[in-house]
Amino acid sequence: MVDSGKGRSFFHSTAPVLLMKSNHQGPLIWALDNKKCAEGGFIVFNDDGLTLHLLEMKSQLRRRDWSRVKEQLMGMYLASIAIMHILRLECPISVIAYVAYTEDKTQQRDERSYINNKTINPAQDIELREWSQGKLHLPHGIVAEIRKGLRNSTGDIDFGWVN
């Protein structure tokens, strides 16, 4: 379970797990350039290797929010890899990024763009391809699977069993 303050996320595993949680005052590893960090992450120790899981929880997820969510997930990924190296753990065999939200508004155009008679930034649409395809490109050539989840009325989400 990860408690983000406005809701909790639940994961279930029969394998050993190492939980890493952000304290909302900066990254877990202060030497990193990326000072943004997701809610938390955890490592699942399986017989065939380690799986790194990253978590970010949002209320509404709008088009303009996706770039920040990516930065937060990337910050958590880098902090997690640093922690894994400090603990002399092997690199993960896979990375899964979970994004929980109360409402997905990524497909809606930003009203302010129409009011100000601005065009939509084409680069933003390219970035949203990752969201729609369920793949997040991370450093070191790693592509994480994105698992999306709708939070319930109390802000909680159960992502189920992980390995």
Where residue 21 falls among pLDDT bands split at 50, 70, 90? confident
**Domains in the chain: boundaries:** 2-155
What is the rounded average pLDDT of the residues 17-28? 72
> What percentage of the chain exceeds 70 in pLDDT?
77
C-alpha–C-alpha distance, residues 79 and 6, integer Å: 23
C-alpha–C-alpha distance, residues 99 and 83, integer Å: 22
C-alpha–C-alpha distance, residues 3 and 7, integer Å: 6
For residue 61, which amino acid is it? L
The beta-carbon contacts of 113-119 under 8 Å, at least 24 apart in sequence, are none
Where residue 10 falls among pLDDT bands split at 50, 70, 90? very high
- Residue 54's nearest CA partner among 105, 82, 101, 19 is 19
Q: Judge contact between 44 and 50, C-beta under 8 A.
A: yes
C-alpha–C-alpha distance, residues 93 and 84, integer Å: 13
Angle at 142 between CA 21 and CA 156, to 5 degrees: 35
What is the rounded average pLDDT of the residues 44-68? 92
Local structure of residue 84 (DSSP, 8 states): H
pLDDT at residue 37, rounded to an integer: 80
What is the rounded average pLDDT of the residues 140-155? 94
Q: What are the helix (H) ranges across 87-121? A: 111-115
C-alpha–C-alpha distance, residues 146 and 137, integer Å: 10
pTM of the model: 0.84
Give per-residue pLDDT as tens, 79-118: 899 999 999 999 999 999 999 999 888 877 656 555 544 5
Token couple for 51: 């799986």
- Identify the residue with better confidence: 42 or 112: 42
pLDDT at residue 136, rounded to an integer: 95
* Residue 27 clears pLDDT 80, i.e. is over it: no
- Identify the residue with better confidence: 62 or 11: 11
pLDDT at residue 102, rounded to an integer: 92
